Amino acid sequence: MGISRVNVEEFWKLSEELPIFDVRSPSEFCHASIPEAINLPLFSNEERKIVGTLYKQKSRSEAIKAGLDFFGPKMRTMVERVEEVCGHYNTNRVLVHCWRGGMRSAGVAWLLDMYGFKVFVLTGGYKAFRQWVLGSFTHTYPLKVVGGYTGSGKTQVLSALAKRGELVVDLEDIAKHKGSAFGDLDGIAQPSQEMFENVLATQLITAMKSNRYAGQPVWIEDESQRIGLVNIPADLWKTMRTAPLYFLEIPFEHRLQNVVREYGSLPKGKLVTAIMRIQKRLGGLDTKLAINHLLENDIEASFDILLRYYDKYYKKALTARGDLGNQLKVIDCAASDYTENAQKILAENLLNNGTGN
């Protein structure tokens, strides 16, 4: 069927329909990968170490011979794995990459081509993909930011916007963290910084190239630059800071009930640990009161203290941004009806732009 080398743009476009096989070692793949890629390692972690050592200490030819020893017994299982995946995609065309587009991807491409697959190899490999990812954050995306105090339902409003056909990038979902001391209480591990950037970049790029784009904004949640253990890339962060901010103004009591519903059923031990993380900023007395209320099953009183703390720091951060002028759009919301509040944002956007975009 043949082997073709393609650049990152072509590779990513083809990935909309074809499976990606990452032939790097399991440890390389686990650290970070191209989103949706499937690991088809040519070498195990230990085998890769052996081949690399031979390459450095002896010669390229000795390294290749050792590599062939490792590759040979795996050929059949690798072909069968690719067959299995391609059956789900109903295709005999595949995408393959390694770290730099060198011998590992060339070897696997040769095998799959010989068996009858059409193979597209990523020129420059994963390294080229990473350069593409990092370069993408310098683009000035047409972002519009959904803001509001804690408990405003910003994530749910983004979901409601997506259901209406708007282009949405959910930073908290990508980061697997809700952006506060309580953000990791669901126990889901966060991705590496590199993987966070990979997913974020490809979602932004995909949104911009979508057939639905046609000048639409990309809606994103107002976040601190740091979300748990990962950071929003500096260039994208600058774009977010200058984008229009649609601030959901929701009464305190409604927000308090939202927070109680979201976090109130979590194990008390985890909640106490989260409170202790912010004790220096919260203050000794409020820390003690919040924990005591929690242990006495007065969840609402505990979260009342915490919510006022987060309100204070959000307001401080907002003030630090200076005079937002026309950048700030305050959306008065009587309650936490996410669908209605999404509609209010779109109405305000329509009013400001004079268009439906």
Query: Which residues are catalytically annotated?
Result: 98
* Lookup result for tokens 């990038």: 169
Pairing of strands 245-249, 230-231: unpaired
- DSSP-assigned states of every residue in 300-315: HHHHHHHHHHHHHHHH
Pairing of strands 230-231, 226-227: antiparallel
- Give which of 194, 192, 197 is closest to 137, Cα–Cα: 197
How many angstroms separate the CA atoms of 101 and 45, rounded?
18
What tokens does 312 get?
């204070």
Inter-residue contact 246 to 345 (CB < 8 Å): yes
- Cite the beta strand spans of the chain per DSSP E: 3-6, 20-22, 38-39, 93-97, 118-122, 143-148, 167-169, 218-221, 226-227, 230-231, 245-249, 328-332
Dihedrals phi, psi of 153, to nearest 5 degrees = 80, 35
How many angstroms separate the CA atoms of 119 and 6, rounded?
10
Q: Which residues of 266-285 are buried (b: 16+ CB within 10 A; e: fewer)?
A: eeeeebeebbeebeeebeee
